[in-house]
Chain A
Amino acid sequence: MESGDVGYLGLAASLVLVAIALAINLRLRLRLERELVVSVVRGFVQLLIVGAALAIVIDPDTSLLWSWLWVVGIVVFAAATVKRRAPAVPGLFWIALAANGVSAAVGFAVTFGLSIFPVEGRTLVPIAGMLVGNAMKSGIVVAERIVEALSERRAEVEARLALGQPWKQASLPIVRSTLRTALSPQIENTKALGIVFLPGAMTGLILGGAATTTAVTALGAVRRLFTSDHRLVALPRSRRDTG
């Protein structure tokens, strides 16, 4: 197993776990069996395709340009995923693209700039996957939460705006609490390092990347949810008095 290859035995073992999940689902009548099977098959096929493509991309004989293109693909896909999860934020794709791009760039600058790893396809692509994947999760949490919080606390925001506060000041308490919510899982993960999670050289970078993405996404999203004349735009689930 040193090569990291998963043999037929490993594959069978993972299917045992799927079978256990299916059994629990049937026993508790959760009616999730269809979703479960579809997601397993879909994930399996996706991994086969991606794995085959990845094997070619990270082959030492393949130009490094293909690895960089793969990284760009990861960043774009992550931005599209963030956008899909919080469609109420205008222009969120570009905000997430910038946030994920900055996270990846900072991570690469440290990893490769300090020669922690050599710049090769087999390091570049997985590191980008870890950095951007984690940053994407934080970006999704913060973008969704910003929309929810501004919607739920619309009355407070408008009470502040009505006092003549600019949008930045009026939204600050909400941005603060949202950033705390979004970053706390990352901080907890770091605390649990070595106890629950395997220690890894990338942890600091992942936390830093997630923090960067969270801050950039939160501030970018809030900016887009206010008009230039300091009004909060209409948001899903917001209750508007039409009296």
Chain B
Amino acid sequence: MPPAPPLFEFESVNVGDPEARRLDGLDARLPGTGLTVVAGPSGSGKSTLLRLCNRLEVPTAGTVRHRGTDITERDPLELRREVAMVFQRPVAFAGTVLDNLREADPECDETRGAELLERAALAASFLARDADELSGGEAQRACLARALATNPRVMLMDEPTSALDAKAASVLEDLARQLVDDGTPVVWVTHDERQMRRLADDVLLLAEGRAERAGVPEEVLGDGKR
């Protein structure tokens, strides 16, 4: 049996003008299962890589494949529902949390809403809460529930804890781990090495828009004495 194609594969990918490339000839593969951390210093192209995966950006050159298929051959709206994304800062839409869930799934009733919130560690009572009035951690979890409402097969998380306190960040890390355990691969962007070590099954390290190293955390990050 041939090996399963990678979750995402980047082949000679450039993004941006030649004088200001955000990705510069990127060749990389993200494994088909588990939690992959994409790491690197600020400006290394981590967020750009993530945005390529759900086609919020397109390469100026090169190819991005999702499970072996060039993503330009996929319907972008269908792809985005399959490859969900949680952003760095939670963006609550106007209305209640249930209204927010209905933006992703117009058929979402209170029962389904409560199930989605439970997967994001929020009580069902949050459904009626005004989304603008949630704390940072609650809002980010509501955004995770909203992203789950499209029944995604992949979850992209772009530094989702960078605006949260340690306790809220820990809850979100546990939720990401739970998603992986339930069979949904997660691609998590961070520049926090300790978080990387806690979370990663695999690491892709970027530098100046290129893949510097890739593999299991012990290989990529060394013994932790760096």
> Which residue on chain A has the smallest CB distance to residue B74?
A229
Task: Check A155–B80 contact: CB distance below 8 A.
Answer: no
Chain A interface size, as a band, is 10 to 19
Q: How far is the CA of A155 from the CA of B56 in the complex (A)?
A: 11
A242 and B94 form a contact (CB under 8 A): no
Kindly list chain A residues whose C-beta atoms are within 8 Å of the C-beta of B58.
229, 231
Q: Are A164 and B81 within 8 A (Cβ)?
A: yes
Pick the interface stretch among B42-50, B60-68, B119-127, B172-180: B42-50
> What residues on A are CB-neighbors of B88 within 8 Å?
241
CB pair B103–A163 under 8 Å, yes or no, is: yes
Q: Is B104 an interface residue (CB 8 A)?
A: yes
**A168→B59 CA distance, assembly (Å):** 23
Q: B77's contact among A155, A159, A164, A243, by CB below 8 Å, is which? A: A164
Could you say which residues of chain A place their CB within 8 Å of the CB of B89? 155
A137 interface residue (CB < 8 Å to B): no
User: Is the CB of A161 closer than 8 A to any CB of chain B?
Assistant: yes
Q: Known A155-B91, A159-B87, A231-B58; judge A242-B47 contact (CB<8 A).
A: yes
Is B9 an interface residue when CB atoms closer than 8 A count as contact? no
Answer yes or no: A122 CB below 8 A from chain B CBs: no
Give the Cβ gap from A138 to chain B, nearest Cβ, in Å.
Answer: 25
Residues of A within 8 A of B143 (CB): 159
- Asked if B189 is at the interface of the complex by the 8 Å CB criterion, the answer is yes
A159 closest partner in B (C-beta): B91
Contacts of A156 in B (CB 8 A): 91, 93
User: Any chain A CB within 8 A of the CB of B118?
Assistant: no
Known: A158-B87, A160-B93, A163-B150. A229 touches B76 (CB 8 A): yes
Interface assignment of B114: CB less than 8 Å from any CB of chain A: no
B45 and A242 form a contact (CB under 8 A): yes
Residues of B within 8 Å of A163, CB to CB, are 80-81, 84, 103-104, 146-147, 149-150
Nearest Cβ on chain A to B86's Cβ, whole angstroms = 9
- Determine the distance from Cα of A160 to Cα of B77 in the docked complex, in whole angstroms: 11
Q: How far apart are A239's CB and chain B's nearest CB, in angstroms? A: 11
A169 smallest CB distance to B (angstroms) = 9
Cβ–Cβ < 8 Å partners of B94 in chain A: 173
B91 touches A231 (CB 8 A): no
| B interface: dominant SS | loop
Question: Which residues of B sit under 8 angstroms from A166, Cβ to Cβ?
Answer: 77
Contact indicator B103/A243 (Cβ below 8 Å): no
- B22 on interface, CB distance cutoff 8 Å: yes
**Interfacial chain B residues near A230, Cβ < 8 Å:** 76-77
Closest to B71 in A: A229
Q: B149: which A residues are within 8 A, CB to CB?
A: 163
Chain B residue at minimum C-beta to C-beta distance from A155: B91
Task: List, in ascending order, chain A residues with CB within 8 A of B44's CB.
Answer: 243
Chain A nearest CB: distance from B46 CB in Å? 5
Nearest CB on B from A151, distance (A): 15
B80 touches A162 (CB 8 A): yes
Kindly provide the distance from the CB of B20 to the nearest chain A CB, expressed in whole angstroms.
9
| Nearest CB in chain B to that of A166: its residue | B77
Interchain CB contact (< 8 A) of B43 among A160, A164, A165, A242: A242
Assess whether B191 is interfacial by the CB under 8 Å rule. yes
Which residue in B42, B80, B81, B85 is a CB contact (below 8 Å) of A243?
B42
Q: Mark each residue of chain A from 155 to 198: 1 if its CB lies under 8 Å from any CB of chain B, else 0.
A: 11011111111100000010000000000000000000000000
> In chain A between 208 and 227, which residues have their CB closer than 8 angstroms to a CB of chain B?
none
From residue A241, how far is it (CB to closest CB) to chain B in Å?
5
In angstroms, Cα B150 to Cα A160, docked, is 12
Given known A159-B87, A241-B47, A243-B46, contact A164–B80 (CB-CB < 8 A):
yes
Taking CB as reference atom, which chain A residue is nearest B206?
A: A243
Knowing A165-B103, A166-B77, the reply to whether A231 touches B189 (Cβ < 8 A) is no
Cβ–Cβ < 8 Å partners of B109 in chain A: none
Is A243's CB under 8 angstroms from B54's CB? no
Binding site for A on B (CB under 8 A): 22, 42-48, 54-58, 76-78, 80-81, 84-85, 87-89, 91, 93-94, 103-104, 143, 146-147, 149-150, 158-159, 189, 191
Which 3 residue pairs spanning A and B have beta carbons closest together? A164-B81, A159-B91, A162-B85
Which A residues lie at the B interface, using CB under 8 A? Answer: 155-156, 158-166, 173, 229-231, 241-243
Name 9 interchain pairs, CB-CB below 8 A, sorted by A: A155-B89, A158-B56, A159-B93, A159-B143, A160-B103, A163-B146, A164-B78, A242-B42, A242-B48
